[in-house]
Amino acid sequence: MTKQNDEILKLEKEILKKNDEIQRLETLLTPFRTIALEKYTGTEEEALQKLKDHINALEKKSIMIENKMLPRTITSLQIQSIGNQLRPIKNIKVKFLIMSSDSEIEDLKNQFKQIFAIAGWEIIKVEYAMAIPFKGLTIFTSDRPVNDAVKTLYLALKTIGIEPTR
């Protein structure tokens, strides 16, 4: 009988612990429940699901914004790979137009210089312009036939996660 009583006491303690944990979680959930019910229609469960979906969407947007804010850079392995992809396109002359230069843009310019050196493309000019509030690097090519060099560079940059604009 003592062994059975010990087991009962042990189970009662576990139940108390579980009840305390449920109460703690309910307390943490209360503000979210309140927001969900104020903001969304439907049952409490539906409103909480809508709030969860909204929070997930905000997290994704936040990650995208953070990634856009990180300095853009091209690794040495990527520089080599892109340069090799561009090498078959011959006799290309390149001009850089740098808008509101900063260290990120200067680093990118230097990384592109390395890419174009590997590709055998000639850099003929680097110009600086003030374009507040914009900053960026524009690359012009003496591309013939039209767009082969630009398309190849564009696709190579996309493969490494840089989304250039045309």
Last residue of a domain, one of 69, 96, 121: 69
E strands in 24-161: 93-99, 122-129, 136-141
Sign of CA dihedral 18, 19, 25, 29: positive
Residues 140 and 81 in one domain: yes
Q: Is residue 74 within 8 Å of residue 162, measured between CB atoms? A: yes
pLDDT class for 71, splitting at 50, 70, 90?
low
User: For the residues of 37-71, what is the DSSP string, one character each?
Assistant: HHH--S-HHHHHHHHHHHHHHHHHHHHHHHHHHSP
The pTM for the full model equals 0.56
Note the Cα 17 to chain centre separation in Å.
42
Residues 56 and 82 in one domain: no
Residues 65 and 83 in one domain: no
pLDDT value for 145: 56
Last residue of a domain, one of 49, 69, 89: 69
Tokens 């003929």: give the residue: 124
Contacts of 126 (CB under 8 A, 6+ apart): 95, 96, 98, 109
Residues 81 and 145 in one domain: yes
Last residue of a domain, one of 28, 44, 69: 69
Number of separate domains in the chain: 2
Q: Which residues of 121-133 are buried (b: 16+ CB within 10 A; e: fewer)?
A: bebeeeeeeeeee
Amino acid of residue 2 = T
3-state secondary structure of 112: helix
Residue 36, pLDDT above cutoff 80: yes
Residues 104 and 155 in one domain: yes
Residues 47 and 98 in one domain: no
Q: How many angstroms separate the CA atoms of 93 and 126, rounded?
A: 12
Domain range for 8 is 2-69
Residues 100-154 have pLDDT tens digits of: 767 888 888 999 999 999 999 999 888 888 766 677 778 877 756 557 788 888 8
